[in-house]
Amino acid sequence: MLNLSKKILVAIDGSPQSDKAAEEAVRMAGASGNRLKSKLYALMVLPNMRAPSFTDFFPATPITERPDWEETRKRIFYVVEKCAAEADIPLESLVLYGDAAEEILAFAEREEIDVITIGSSGSGRMKRALLGSVSTKVALHAQQSVYIVR
């Protein structure tokens, strides 16, 4: 039997491009109609925390443990949470640590995601050639369909 409900992953980083990707992901999730609800996952990947050394008398507090974290999280996830609530789409918001592309790909495989939606950074050709981009890495290595939003 054909299953039209999908698991959709959207990568969030608080940028205007990720907000556009969130809007597109919600639109895709809502396209299956009320009977066949798709599930939406919003994923933000923070850089790995470095291990404290002996010279660190006051190691930095992880961002997720800082007093202003909840306010920051609400601001970053605002667009996807608002759009999903308005469209009555089930949403799960997550924060992981590590390399962004690797974590997105691992999560997509683990949760059997059908479509990954990600914003394009819009960085220039030279910067992409030197550093690479998360959206390019995800598109090249994903087993799922990848929708890159500009």
Q: Is residue 55 part of a domain?
A: no
The 10s digit of each residue's pLDDT in 84-101 is 999 999 999 999 999 999
Q: Is the pLDDT of residue 58 over 90?
A: no
Q: What is the mean pLDDT of the chain?
A: 85
Q: Is residue 69 part of a domain?
A: yes
Residue spans of beta strands (DSSP E) within the chain: 7-11, 39-46, 91-97, 115-119, 145-149
Q: Is residue 53 part of a domain?
A: no
Mean pLDDT of 62-82: 90
Give Cα separations from 145 to 52, 58, 74, 115 (angstroms): 39, 44, 28, 5
Largest CA distance in the chain: 60
Confidence band for 125, pLDDT divided at 50, 70 and 90: low
Q: Is residue 2 part of a domain?
A: no
Q: For the domain that residue 110 is a member of, what is the CATH number?
A: 3.40.50.620
Residue 127 tokens read as: 């910067």
Q: Is residue 133 part of a domain?
A: yes
Of residues 61 and 84, more confidence is placed in 84
Mean pLDDT of 10-24: 94
Confidence band for 2, pLDDT divided at 50, 70 and 90: very low
pLDDT above 70 covers what percent of the chain?
A: 79
Q: Is the pLDDT of residue 112 over 90?
A: yes
Number of independent structural domains in the chain:
1
Q: Is residue 87 part of a domain?
A: yes
Q: Is residue 120 part of a domain?
A: yes
pTM: 0.84
CA distance 60 to 51: 10
CA distance 40 to 44: 13
Q: How many residues in the chain? A: 150
Domain range spanning residue 34? 7-48+62-149
CA distance 95 to 135: 18
Q: Is residue 143 part of a domain?
A: yes
Q: Is the pLDDT of residue 38 over 70?
A: yes
Helix (H) or strand (E) holding 25: helix 16-30
